[in-house]
Amino acid sequence: MTVPVFRFAPSPNGHLHLGHAYSALLNQQMAGETGGRLLLRMEDIDRERCTPELEATMQEDLRWLGFNWETPVRRQSEHFEVYRVSLDKLIHMDLVYPAFLSRNDIKHAVQKATAENRVWPHDPDGAALYPLSDRTLSPSERAKRMNAGRAFSWRLNMDRAMEHVSQTLFWNETGNTIQARPLDWGDVIIARKDMPTSYHLSVVIDDALQGITHVVRGKDLFHATSIHRLLQHILGLEPPIYHHHALILDQDGQKLSKSRKDTALRSLRLEGMTPQQIRERVGL
Ligand code: GLU
C-alpha cells in the first residue's frame, strides 16, 4: 500500500494566522490518522514579497505550534528551472501566449464594455477575465513587443487548452467527484512577469514531484482546483485527492488576512496563548 503524503504549503510573505494554524494542524492530524508523511513547502516564487526572515519566522511559529514536518523543506524559489521545463512545454504546444496588458489596461477594457452595456465575465474569485485581444496578436507584433523589452506574462489560451483536453475532467474531493470548470477562469496566468512560473503552475508540479497524495487546504482554493486539474491533465501529472476545509473567520465573518495583527500566531503567542489553546480556538 502506498503511504499517504500530505503537505502544508504557505507563502512566506507575512505572518501565519489562525487559519494557517488550522490548515497545518489538520494536515498533521490527517497524516497521523492515516500513517502518512507530512511535508512543508514554501511557496516563495514572489521574490519581492517573500523573504528569508519571514520564512524563518514561519518555521519558528510552526515549531512552537507543534507542527512536525519532514526535512528538507521544499522552497519553490530554488526550482525555477524545473517550472521552466513545463512552461517551455506549454509554449511548444502553443497553449500559452504572451500577455502584455497591465492591470489598468484590463480595468479600462471592463469600463468600456460596461459603458456599452456589455457584461464582462468575472472569475470565481470575482476578478475580471483577461481580455481576448492578446490571443490574436500577429506573430510579428508579438515579436516586436518582446524584442522591445515590453513586460509580459504567459497566459493559458483556455479555449485551446480545453480543445486539447477534449474530455470532461473531474477531481476527487474526499469521497465526492467534482467536475472541473476551468473555463470559468478565462486565460489564467501560467508564468508571471519576469519568472517562469505562477502559483498554479508550481503548485501542480510540486504536488506531483513530491508525490503528494492528499492536498488539504482552505475552501478559498476550491475553485482554483479546476485549473490545477486541467494543468495536471495537460502535463501528464498524477492528481492527488483534495480536501478543501472550512475557513477560520473573524467575528465579522471575514476571511483572515496576513496583514491583521490580532489573529497572527505571533501576537497570540506574545499575549500568552498556548499551542493547546490555539488548537481549541480553531476547533481541533
Ligand atoms: N501557498 C498557498 C497559500 O499560502 C497555498 C497553496 C496550496 O495549499 O495549494 O495560500
**3-class DSSP state for residue 46?**
coil
Mean pLDDT across the chain, nearest whole number?
97
For the segment 248-273, the average pLDDT, to the nearest whole number, is 90
Query: How far away, in angstroms, is 41 Cα from ligand 1 center?
Result: 9
pLDDT band at 251 (very low <50, low <70, confident <90, very high): confident
The predicted structure's pLDDT at residue 250 = 86
Query: How far away, in angstroms, is 20 Cα from ligand 1 center?
Result: 10
For the segment 93-122, the average pLDDT, to the nearest whole number, is 97
- Nearest residue (by CA) to ligand 1, atom 2, is 10
Measure the CA–CA gap between 240 and 104, rounded to whole angstroms. Answer: 37
pLDDT at residue 217 tops 90 = yes
Q: Residue 12 is part of which domain span? A: 1-78+249-284
Residue 21 lies in a domain: yes
pLDDT band at 260 (very low <50, low <70, confident <90, very high): confident
pLDDT band at 261 (very low <50, low <70, confident <90, very high): confident
pLDDT at residue 231 tops 80 = yes
Of 49 and 257, the structure prediction assigns the larger pLDDT to 49
For the segment 46-54, the average pLDDT, to the nearest whole number, is 97
Measure the CA–CA gap between 73 and 105, rounded to whole angstroms. Answer: 39
Q: For residue 137, which of 164, 97, 105, 108 has the smallest C-alpha distance? A: 97
Question: 277: domain CATH number?
Answer: 3.40.50.620
Same domain, 150 and 57: no
Residue 166: Cβ-neighbour burial (10 angstroms; 0-12, 13-18, 19+)? exposed
The C-alpha cell at 131 is 481580455
The predicted structure's pLDDT at residue 162 = 97
pLDDT at residue 207 tops 80 = yes
Same domain, 96 and 164: yes
Same domain, 201 and 87: yes
Tally the domains of the chain.
Answer: 2
Q: For residue 213, which of 173, 192, 179, 240 has the smallest C-alpha distance? A: 240
* Strand 189-191 versus strand 153-156 pairing type: antiparallel
Residue 223 lies in a domain: no
Residue 192 lies in a domain: yes
Residue 36 lies in a domain: yes
- Nearest residue (by CA) to ligand 1, atom 4, is 10
The predicted structure's pLDDT at residue 172 = 98
The torsion defined by the Cα of 130, 131, 137 and 141, in degrees rounded to 10, comes to: -80
Give me the residues paired with residue 243 across strands.
216
- Per-residue pLDDT reduced to its tens digit, 134-176: 999 999 999 999 999 999 999 999 999 999 998 999 999 998 9
For the segment 207-231, the average pLDDT, to the nearest whole number, is 98
Residue 183 lies in a domain: yes
Question: 189: domain CATH number?
Answer: 3.90.800.10
pLDDT band at 16 (very low <50, low <70, confident <90, very high): very high
Q: Which of 16, 42, 203, 206 most suits a substitution to test ligand 1, by most atoms within 8 Å of the C-beta?
A: 203
pLDDT at residue 262 tops 90 = no
Same domain, 66 and 21: yes
The C-alpha cell at 160 is 485551446
Q: Which of 74, 219, 221 most suits a substitution to test ligand 1, by most atoms within 8 Å of the C-beta?
A: 221
The C-alpha cell at 8 is 502544508
pLDDT at residue 1 tops 90 = no
For the segment 31-47, the average pLDDT, to the nearest whole number, is 98
Residue 224 lies in a domain: no
The DSSP annotation for 1-37 comes to -PPPEEEE---SSS--BHHHHHHHHHHHHHHHHHT-E
The predicted structure's pLDDT at residue 175 = 86
Query: How far away, in angstroms, is 272 Cα from ligand 1 center?
Result: 28
The predicted structure's pLDDT at residue 253 = 87
Same domain, 53 and 109: no
Residue 116 lies in a domain: yes
Same domain, 88 and 127: yes
